Structure 1
Amino acid sequence: MVLTLARRGLKKVYFPNIVFKLVRAPNLAPNQVAFRIPPNVNKLDIRDYLTHIYQIKVVDVRTMNYAAKRPVRKRDGAMRGKYVSKYKKAIITLCDYFKYPPIPDKQSLEEYEDRAEITRMNFRRLRGWKPRPQRINMRKKERYEKFNESTKEKEKDLDELD
């Protein structure tokens, strides 16, 4: 006989697949935080998520729904603008003051940018796209160096004539 979790006195643990995007909002109070969340998440889910997973004491949750923005077709038939999917914005009031994490410096992110470029190129290869060859960039660099050398030589010639 198989005992269920409820009979054993154990609680079920749900790992939500929810992405909370922290939004910087300078006009909020120091104990308030703004998040951009999926539209299907309600206030109770937000409070429960923050209290149980991140151990944050939540006082109040306010939400606002934003509609999707679609590109506009102009008279010439061209589409203007970008598609932005619908989302929900949540302003959460906390018990304690909130301090935004520091903005990372570019030097620490260089390795991640390179990694992102490599993964993008690998993804294109998998889909059958041909990646742009690096020799084009090398040619541009060579032309630029030749141009600099020739201008330096001209400047030297002009200096010698003076």
Structure 2
Amino acid sequence: MPIVREGLKKLYFPSTVLKLVRNGPQVPAVSNILTFRVPPSMNKFDIKSYLANIYQLNILTVRTANMPAKIAGHGGNTILKRQKFKKAIVTIDGEFKWPEAPESATFGIQDAANERSRMMNRLKGWRMRPHHGLQAAKKAEEAKKAEEVKA
């Protein structure tokens, strides 16, 4: 009995990117229909085996559509084009709910704190030197203190 494989490519690690995109306005936010943007080289069997093996999803159907390149605008004498891609509409057996959007007030505060800490660690071992005018004023103050201590 021959071994039956669904996909044509062996996927050991996710080397291709499947981008989950929001469905159109006709599909509710909580449903079992997911839309992915996939590379044009992937076929239905590859998409199904990718999602089943990596994300442990139970896939019911996979529908694909090749989306053509679109003209994005004109840049002088050249015409700018968006890249062509394949759209995959996948039906799963359970319901999928999009995660809630983060609060805009707290979004990025932790990242800013981490960035400040990283920058301070980068400056460890460096000594901040005052401006030349400030150095002269500091030396004058130290000389006054030294005279006061001697007296």
* Deviation sequence 1:15-36 (CA, Å, 0-9, x none): 1311111111142361111111
Q: Distance in 1 between matches of 2:11 and 2:43?
A: 19
How far has the Cα of 1:104 moved from its partner? 2.2
- The residue number in structure 2 matching 1:17 is 15
Structure 2 unpaired stretches of 5+: 1-9, 116-151
Measured against aligned partners, the alpha-carbon deviations of 1:48-73 in whole angstroms (never above 9, x if no partner) come to 01111111000000001111123555
Shift of 1:78: 5.3
Q: Runs of 5+ in structure 1 lacking a partner? A: 1-11, 118-162
For 1:20 and 1:69, the matched residues in 2 are separated by: 20
Kindly tell me the number of residue pairs found equivalent between the two proteins. Answer: 103
Q: Distance in 1 between matches of 2:106 and 2:16?
A: 27
Q: What is the CA–CA distance in structure 2 between the aligned matches of 1:52 and 1:63, rounded to whole Å?
A: 19
Q: In structure 1, what is the equivalent of residue 118 of structure 2?
A: none
Whichever of the two has the greater Rg, that structure is: 2
CA gap 1:64/1:112 in 2 versus in 1, 3 angstroms: farther
Q: Which has the larger strand fraction?
A: 2
In the alignment, residue 40 of structure 2 is paired with which amino acid? P
Q: Which structure is higher in helix share?
A: 1
Report the counterpart of residue 47 of structure 1 in structure 2: 48
Q: RCO greater where, 1 or 2, for CA within 8 Å and sep 6 or more?
A: 2
TM-score by length of 2: 0.56
The two structures, once aligned, show a CA RMSD in angstroms of 3.1
**Percent identity of the aligned residues?**
41
Q: Distance in 1 between matches of 2:110 and 2:36?
A: 24
TM-score of the superposed pair, with normalisation by structure 1: 0.52
